[in-house]
Amino acid sequence: MVGTRQLRIKQPQSIAQMVVERLREAIIDGHFGLGENISEDKLAETFGVSRTPIRDALLQLQQSGLVIVRPKRGTFVFSPTLADVEILCEYRLMLEMQALRLSMTRNHGDLTDAIQSAVTAMTAALEASDQFAYARADAAFHRAFFDLCGNRLIRDAYTVAEGQLGAIRSSLSVAYGQPGDQSYAEHKQIAELIAAKDIDALAAVMDEHVWRTLRVARDALPEDAGSRRP
């Protein structure tokens, strides 16, 4: 007898969910700048839908921290300060190192393959001077730590900040021209250390790599009294 689960009909995505995914991708890729106003009317026209699914989508993106709704002013892409970036870096480093330890222990072969694939994509993006492709490959590089760590709670915890981190990464890549000018060599070094299972050396390189975001951001984002790291 065929199991009832096999007979279930897969529900199509709602229009709002499709808009959420496309908008999220556009913000992370840098097609919308940090702090940029997002017009509901223009989005509705662009997507060929009514304003209702647009509003639903923006509400979801607000809950994930990618947009901010300001009463009587409109909806804007989030605009982080240096203090915000510092908090994200602390959160990211803590989670990435734990995810790395677990994925290296549980799925080392698959992790090595995924990381090398991302480095190959970064190389191609650099050669093509494609900052958006580089940012996507960069995101895939770090996402592999979580996809292969075997712990859904750690993976879900990273998802909370992943969109904001991706948007900041893209924004800084745009501001500084060629993508990955300073971080590409670190990605290659991280890949080599993962292959060698050298967790101590990885910790040192990851610390330098993650905090580079804050150092680069100092010239691109507004100062904030809450920033503590020199």
Q: What is the pLDDT of residues 118-141, one digit of tens each?
A: 999 999 998 998 887 888 898 899
CATH of the domain at 65: 1.10.10.10
pLDDT in tens, 184-222: 899 999 999 999 999 999 999 999 999 988 888 887 665
- Last residue within a domain, chosen from 77, 105, 125: 77
User: Is there a single domain that holds both residue 208 and residue 122?
Assistant: yes
Question: Residues, the chain, total?
Answer: 230
User: Is there a single domain that holds both residue 100 and residue 171?
Assistant: yes
- Last residue within a domain, chosen from 55, 77, 99: 77
pLDDT of 227 strictly over 50: no
User: Is there a single domain that holds both residue 72 and residue 87?
Assistant: no
User: Is there a single domain that holds both residue 104 and residue 137?
Assistant: yes
Q: Which of these, 82, 67, 98, lies nearest to 164 by C-alpha position?
A: 67
Predicted confidence at residue 225, as pLDDT, reads: 43
User: Is there a single domain that holds both residue 106 and residue 201?
Assistant: yes
The residue range of the domain holding 184 is 82-217
User: Is there a single domain that holds both residue 52 and residue 144?
Assistant: no
Predicted confidence at residue 172, as pLDDT, reads: 76
Residues 190-194: contacts with CB within 8 Å, 24+ apart? Answer: 190/115, 191/112, 191/115, 191/116, 191/119, 194/100, 194/104, 194/108, 194/111, 194/112, 194/115
Q: Which of these, 168, 179, 183, 174, lies nearest to 129 by C-alpha position?
A: 179
User: Is there a single domain that holds both residue 105 and residue 207?
Assistant: yes
Please tell me the total count of domains within the chain. 2
User: Is there a single domain that holds both residue 95 and residue 194?
Assistant: yes
190 is a domain residue: yes
187 is a domain residue: yes
29 is a domain residue: yes
User: Is there a single domain that holds both residue 205 and residue 165?
Assistant: yes
User: Is there a single domain that holds both residue 42 and residue 138?
Assistant: no
pLDDT of 5 strictly over 60: no
E strands of 53-135, at which residues?
Answer: 67-70, 74-77
- Last residue within a domain, chosen from 52, 77, 102: 77
User: Is there a single domain that holds both residue 195 and residue 90?
Assistant: yes
66 is a domain residue: yes
Q: Report if pTM > 0.85.
A: no
User: Is there a single domain that holds both residue 30 and residue 106?
Assistant: no
57 is a domain residue: yes
What confidence tier does 8 reach under pLDDT thresholds 50, 70, 90? low
Predicted confidence at residue 160, as pLDDT, reads: 85
